Structures are given as C-alpha cells and as structure tokens.
Chain A
Amino acid sequence: MLGRPAQIDKRVVLYEREGSPLSKIMKELKFLLAVWKANLLSAMEYRAAFLSQAIGMIVNDFLYFVIWIVFFDRFKDVRGWGIHDMYLTYGVLASSFGLVSLLFGNAFNLSEIISKGRLDYYLSLPRPVLLHAVASRMIASGMGDFTYGFISYGLSGYFTWDGLLRFVLATLLAATVFAAFLILIQSLSFWLGVMSNLSALALNAMLTFGIYPITLFDSYAKLILFTLIPAALMGAVPAEFIRSFTWQTLAELFVGAIVFLLVAVAVFRLGLKRYESGSAIQIEV
C-alpha cells in the first residue's frame, strides 16, 4: 500500500486529536457555559447586591425613558417616528446592552486588560483567549437592562407572540454587533495603549446614536451609523425587524453581525501579535 502524503497525515493527526470542527465548537460552547455558570454563582453569592443593581438599573432605564415620554407628549413625532417606535428601539437596545453586560462583561474593559498586561492569565490557559477574556466577567446591572428591554417592548404597542420571537432574535443579533464593536474599539489598545477616553467616547456615541430616532439623520449620517458607529444595527434596524418581518432587514442584521464579529476577531488577533507585558503578578477573580 502506498503511504499517505505527509500533509494529509498531519491533518488526520490533528483531526484525531482535536476532533471534528463541530465537536470543537461544542467543546468551546461547554466551556463558555461553565464560565457563565461560574460567573452567575459568583454574582449570586451577594444576592442583595445583585438584586439591588438589577432593580436599580430597571428604575434608571425607566427614569431615562420618562424624558422621551415628555418629549413626545409635547412634540408628538419626529419625522414620523413616535413614542411607540421609541419604546421598541429603547427596548431592543436595552436588552442587547444587558445581554452583553451579563455574558461578556469584560468586553467593556478589554482595553484595560490589554494595556495592564492582564491578558497573561488568559494566554497561559488552553482556551480561546478572546472568548475566555470577555466572558470572564458578569455585570450584575445587565440583568436590569435585559429585563427592562422586554418590559419596554411589552409597552410599545407592537407586542405579538411572533413579534416576541423576532424581538429575541433581534436582541441576539444586536448584542453580537454591540459586543463586536466593543471588542474592535478596545482592541485598538494593542496599538494605542491606555485608551479609556476613546473607549468611553465610542460607547457613548453608540448608545446615544442608537437611542435617537433614525429619521433625524441624513444619508451621510446614516452611512456612519451602519459602518463606523454601527448604532443603527443596534437600535433602528432591529426595531424595524420586530415591527414587521422582512428578509431584507433580517439579512442586514445577519450580515452586519457576522461582518463586525469577523472584523473584531481579526483585529484582536492581529493586535495580539503585538501584545507585551511586564510579567506582573495578576490575580483574576
């Protein structure tokens, strides 16, 4: 019998050692579930603090929204965009923000982890560095945002059972865009070092532009809101999709989520090649 070429041999060995791509994904998914479970148990250790943060955030979100109620009570609509659209947009934005806070809390301070050399810990473990790093923290107040989003949707006047399914799907896709945007911006820390101000600026811009009625913006501004600061993919487009199903909006959300995620992962990996640290002793809790 002829021997197998060396290249194929290598692939077979790798396949046998690491399993099929599907089993690899399942393995990482199991790991991710274990990290989330550990985060939840850790947060629930201080139940009162967890609940106070979640309830406090629901009150906080409601109080912020009251301003919009006052605005639309006085001015009725902004180029056809009314209070019901605001409920919907605010709902999907709050839920997706909350989801990222709960599941990928470190995405908000990835730049700090990079610039302070705290990636050492994740690099030393046999797990995907980015996934492990961003999933290692749960922000308790995210539960409040996540819950408030559903309340806001319920109050929007657009509630239907199939709409609820679209709301869940839109929240997942908007959360993917948001997490990818955070990772992308914060990964610039590999080149720029400490960049807490730029991170805060980008985060605020994303949330502010996401909440405001999309009808305010001209075509140039809309181009920015779909690309540079993809706030439209976190607010207006998911809201449009929840209101009424169209393949076009679903495709926009899917393509946006996948493209941003791929770009974010690519930029992180590229930056990781430049990573250096002072080997400081770090404790990750």
Chain B
Amino acid sequence: MKLQVIYLCWRRNKTMKSFKKYWAIFQITLINSLAYPGELIGRSLMIIPFMWIFYQLWKVTYAASGSDVINGLTLSNVLWYLMLAETIELGRPPLARTISENVKDGSIAYLLNKPYDFLLYQLSTTMGETIFRALMNATFGGIVVFWLVGPPQHPEGIIIALPAILGAWVLHFCVTAMIGLSAFVVEDVSAFMWIYQKLAFMFGGMLIPLDFYPQWLQVIAKALPFSSITYGPARLFVTPTTELFINVMTLQIIWIGVLAFLLTFAYRRGVVYLTVNGG
C-alpha cells in the first residue's frame, strides 16, 4: 500500500514537472511574440479591410432579401460571427510551413534530439504565438464591427465561446501539424496547406455562415472537423445557448481525440522516414 502511494506521488511529480516544462515553453513563446509590437500590430491590421468588405456584401444582401433576419441571423450577428471566425483564422501561426522549412534546412534535427516531446513542444509554441495575435485581431476587428453595426447582441457570448475557441486552436494544431509532418516524406507542403485552407473556408463557414448553405451541405459541413474550428465557436459567440455549447464542445472533443490519435501515429511513422539534409 505504502509502495503504491510512493509510486503515485512519483508519477504525479513527473507529470507536474512535464507540465511545467511545456508551460515554460508556452510562456517564453508568449513573451517572444511581444518582442516586436509593431509587427504584431501591422499583421493584425489585415482584418480591417476584410471586415469592411464583409459589411458591404452582407448589408447589400440583407437589403436585397427585404428581411432583417435570415436563417436566424441578423446583419449584426453575421458581422460579429465573421469577426470571430476571422480572428481564429488570422491568429494562427503558419505551423505546417515552419515544420516544412525545418525539414528542408535540416534544423529539425535540433528539435528532435531535445528532452521534450516534439508534438507537445510544437503545441506549446503554437499556442504561445497564437494568444496575442488573436487578441490583436479581435481588438481591431471588434472596433471596426462595433463602428459598423454596434455592439454584439450577446456580449457574454465571448466568455461562453472561450473554451470552444481554445478547442478550435487545438484542433487546428492537430490538422496543421499533420500537414507539417507530411514534410518528413514530401518536403514541400504548400499545396496541402492551400487545399486545407480552402476546405476550412468552405466547410468552416469562413465567408458565409453554414446556416446559409443548402440543407444537405449543412449536414455534411457541420459533421466535419472544419466546422468545429470556425463555425462552432463563432456561432456560439453570437447565439450562446446551453444546447449549442454542448453540441459544439462534444463535437470538438470527439474530433480532437480522433485527430490527436492520428497525429501521434503519423509522427511515429514519419520520424522513421525522415531524412535530414544539411543542418
């Protein structure tokens, strides 16, 4: 009994130490991302023309439809939805490209021989880079949308959507890390990234909320992981209901489980194929 307690304490200590290690990596990346505030702000300005053109498109579309509400969403809902969807999309660092470049220039060798798990290291750095990028995008995007259509109908929605936003980043990490790992075999992953990005645009409801899609396409799109990355959190923000929260989180957890398993498997197989030139 005593031995079992000692073993459990030892395991817990080890887990805590491991967590602290990745937490430290996360913190360092987070602080690093603030090292060049001009660049951080400059990059985030991109959301401004996007939101302005979305406003023009949807203002005309709502006016033409002659209705204030289309499929349960008002013009204000659509704009705030798109603001969060764009924030999630633009806040992501280019992980697949980074891994691909690491493979091409051989620097991946310096990451693989360190005393940490490669995937957890990438997750920690990706999350560290994401936080302030997303915050800046949300700030600029939020100011523009507020100026154009006023405040969101449910400001508290952002707190309810927060776990879904975190889940979306983890899910996105799983997909892009898998695309990045394909560089172990094919080196250049840009074609995969373009196609993933466009699938995310289409099935994630990046430019048009999925509610406006034909019914059959909605069913397909909502079942795919892309909808859990953008549509789910963004829809939760504008219409925060308990039922939607449970739906979004359940789907996210299922997809995170499936993709994390596939990612681990792909990593173990990929390392075997990896050939490093130079470095």
Residue positions of A touching B, CB distance < 8 A: 49, 52-53, 55-57, 59-60, 63-64, 66-67, 70-71, 73-75, 77-79, 141, 197-198, 200-201, 204-205, 208-209, 212-213, 215-217, 221
Contacts and interface: CB of A to CB of B under 8 A. Distances in A.
B190 A216 contact: no
Interface of B: 39, 42-43, 45-46, 49-50, 53, 56-57, 60-61, 64-65, 188, 190-192, 194-195, 197-199, 201-202, 206-208, 212-214, 217
Contacts of A197: 39, 42-43, 45
A198 B198 contact: no
8 contacts: A53-B191, A56-B194, A74-B214, A141-B190, A197-B42, A197-B43, A200-B43, A208-B53
Given A60-B198, A217-B56, 11 more contacts: A52-B188, A56-B190, A56-B191, A73-B214, A79-B60, A79-B64, A141-B194, A205-B49, A213-B57, A216-B56, A216-B60
Contacts of B45: 197, 201
B214 A63 contact: no
A71 B208 contact: yes
B60 A67 contact: no
A200 B212 CA distance: 30
A57 B45 CA distance: 26
Identify whether the interface residues of B are mostly helix, strand, loop, or mixed: helix
Identify whether the interface residues of A are mostly helix, strand, loop, or mixed: helix
Nearest to B199: A63
Given A78-B57, A141-B190, A67 B195 contact: no
B201 A67 contact: yes
A75 B213 contact: no
Given A49-B188, A70-B213, A63 B49 contact: no
Given A70-B217, A212-B57, A64 B198 contact: yes
A141 B195 CA distance: 13
A74 B199 CA distance: 19
B97 to A, nearest CB: 14
B148 to A, nearest CB: 14
Contacts of A221: 56
A198 to B, nearest CB: 7
Contact of A66 (B49, B190, B202): B202
Nearest to B65: A75
Contacts of B199: 63
B198 A63 contact: yes
A200 B57 CA distance: 23
A209 B42 contact: no
Contacts of A204: 46, 49-50
Please provide the 7 A-B residue pairs with the shortest distance between their CB atoms, ordered closest to farther. A56-B191, A197-B42, A63-B198, A60-B194, A216-B56, A205-B49, A197-B43
Q: Of residues B60, B199, B214, which shows the largest number of chain A Cβ atoms within 10 Å of its Cβ?
A: B60
